[in-house]
């Protein structure tokens, strides 16, 4: 009778351990899938930053060239900078209104 009770308890604990191992295996698989997905997204993000860096360096080169030129181009550059500032403020205002609603 004692042996049967111990055997039953042993089977119950073995089943419990098996369930826990299965749960851990499923968690490990989910972590692997998430890791692969994030690595894929980060890889794509690297290419996006490389493209942005190229665009920004070209733009900065043109701005520096304009700064070194005569006064008429400086006036044009001031208008461009003012326009960019207005667009940023307008975009910020529209975005803040959209998030309130």
Q: In the chain, how many domains are there?
A: 2
Rounded to whole angstroms, the Cα distance separating 95 from 99 reads 6
pTM to 2 decimals?
0.45
Same domain, yes or no, for 23 and 47?
A: yes
Three-state DSSP class for residue 5:
helix
Whole-number pLDDT of residue 35: 92
Domain range enclosing 53: 1-68
In whole angstroms, what is the distance from residue 82 CA to residue 90 CA? 12
For residues 15 and 34, membership in a common domain is answered with yes
Instruction: Say how far apart CA 78 and CA 70 lie, in whole Å.
Output: 13
**Six token digits for residue 16:** 């419990």
Whether residues 41 and 13 share a domain: the answer is yes
Tens of pLDDT, residues 17-73: 999 999 999 999 999 999 999 888 887 776 767 777 777 888 888 777 777 776 666
Same domain, 62 and 79: no
Closest of 63, 92, 87 to residue 77, by C-alpha: 63
Residues 9 and 26: their CA atoms lie apart, in Å, by: 26
Are 16 and 46 members of one domain?
yes
> In terms of domains, do 49 and 74 share one?
no
- 17 and 63 assigned to the same domain: yes
Q: Is the pLDDT of residue 87 over 90?
A: yes
């Amino acid at each position: 009778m004692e042996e049967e009770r111990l055997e039953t308890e042993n089977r119950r604990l073995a089943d419990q351990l098996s369930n826990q191992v299965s749960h851990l295996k499923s968690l490990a698989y989910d972590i692997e899938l998430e890791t692969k997905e994030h690595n894929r997204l980060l890889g794509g993000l690297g290419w996006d930053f490389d493209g942005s860096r190229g665009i920004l360096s070209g733009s900065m080169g043109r701005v520096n060239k304009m700064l070194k030129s005569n006064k008429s181009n400086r006036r044009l550059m001031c208008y461009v900078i003012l326009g960019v500032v207005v667009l940023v403020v307008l975009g910020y205002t529209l975005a803040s209104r959209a998030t309130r609603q």
